[in-house]
Amino acid sequence: MNMGVLGTGMVGRAIAGKLASNGHDVKMGSRDPEAALARTEPGNDGTMLADWKAANRDVAIVPFAAAADHAKIIFNATSGSGAMDALVSAGEQNLAGKVLINVSNPLDFSKGMPPSLFVSNTDSLAEQIQQRFPEAKVVESLNTVNAAIMVHPSAVADGDHTMFLCGNDDDARSTVALLLNEEFGWRNVLDLGDLTAARALEMYVPLWVRLFATLGNPMFSVKVVS
Ligand SMILES: NC(=O)c1ccc[n+]([C@@H]2O[C@H](COP(=O)([O-])OP(=O)(O)OC[C@H]3O[C@@H](n4cnc5c(N)ncnc54)[C@H](OP(=O)(O)O)[C@@H]3O)[C@@H](O)[C@H]2O)c1
């Protein structure tokens, strides 16, 4: 299937690389592919984009609009503060009618670490995206774990932990639940219903940051038991 992954950071790389290795035709979106590939500083996964690209030759790095136009399913893996601009660049017409999986968190680093959220409680980044692009089928998921776990849940607890999703379109939520299972191996996907649940998923992130500081590594997740 044609897939679009907006974002060239560690999340975009993890998702695009996994989908390509599963045989999908993946285009990764960037503001400026040439500039992104020319950067000499490593990304937050410790590798340079050019090195990642050399190891993932089948993934094309293209402008946001070309990645969105190409895709049947789109992942938004851009920085929270840049997400709306990235999606505007992707083009409303290229998002319309498509499942748009939002992985982006509304993190505000302007006052240093730990980050705060620039939207919370009564609204969320996912809902703002849905409101700005009403014809896209926004589903929030994967934002509660580290990039490595997103596409390899068995990396912790033998995969026996919980991934959440939410969104306003029933079929889109079902599509994403199936994709998480079949493409990435998630066995325990919990559907939280409509997109207002994204407030809770995004407000979990400050706890994630605190757990990261306490545990000293990002390889953890949560499991819902009852
Ligand atoms: N890192 C994780 O493990 C993790 C886990 C869960 C959720 N998340 C969320 O996933 C998202 C991606 O995280 P990341 O660590 O992979 O990368 P990131 O550094 O947060 O984002 C990189 C991407 O954002 C784009 N970008 C940055 N500023 C922009 C702007 N002003 N306008 C348009 N695009 C802009 C960059 O475009 P260029 O390609 O042009 O540079 C790049 O593609 C974030 O929202 C993060 O909160 C991350």
CA-based radius of gyration for the chain:
16
pLDDT confidence bin for 163, thresholds 50/70/90:
very high
DSSP 8-state class, residue 58:
T
* Minimum-distance ligand 1 atom for the alpha carbon of 31: 40
Give the residue from 53, 27, 26 showing the smallest Cα distance to 38.
53
For the chain, give the mean pLDDT: 98
Q: Can you give the pLDDT at residue 41?
A: 87
The residue whose C-alpha atom lies closest to atom 18 belonging to ligand 1 is 79
Residue 45 has pLDDT above 90, yes or no: no
Question: What pTM was computed for the model?
Answer: 0.98
For the stretch 85-135, pLDDT in tens is 999 999 999 999 999 999 999 999 999 999 999 999 999 999 999 999 999
Ligand 1: which of 79, 107, 117 to mutate, judged by most atoms within 8 Å of the beta carbon? 79
Q: Can you give the pLDDT at residue 43?
A: 84
With a 6 A CB cut-off, is 9 part of the ligand 1 pocket?
yes
SS3 assignment, position 194:
coil
Helix (H) or strand (E) run with residue 213 in it: helix 205-215
* Minimum-distance ligand 1 atom for the alpha carbon of 86: 33
Q: Can you give the pLDDT at residue 101?
A: 99
Q: Report yes or no: 164 and 67 within 8 Å, Cβ to Cβ.
A: no
Cα distance between residue 19 and residue 196, in whole Å: 28
pLDDT confidence bin for 137, thresholds 50/70/90:
very high
Instruction: Give 226 Cα–ligand 1 centroid separation in angstroms.
Output: 34
Ligand 1: which of 11, 45, 81, 119 to mutate, judged by most atoms within 8 Å of the beta carbon? 11
Q: Can you give the pLDDT at residue 109?
A: 96
Q: Can you give the pLDDT at residue 171?
A: 98
Q: Which two tokens stand for residue 3?
A: 């897939």
Mean pLDDT for 49-78 is 98
pLDDT confidence bin for 44, thresholds 50/70/90:
confident
Percent of the chain topping pLDDT 70: 100
Q: In 85-162, where do the E strands start and end?
A: 99-102, 107-108, 116-117, 137-141
Residue 209 has pLDDT above 90, yes or no: yes
Instruction: Give 146 Cα–ligand 1 centroid separation in angstroms.
Output: 13
Give the residue from 135, 131, 125 showing the smallest Cα distance to 82.
125
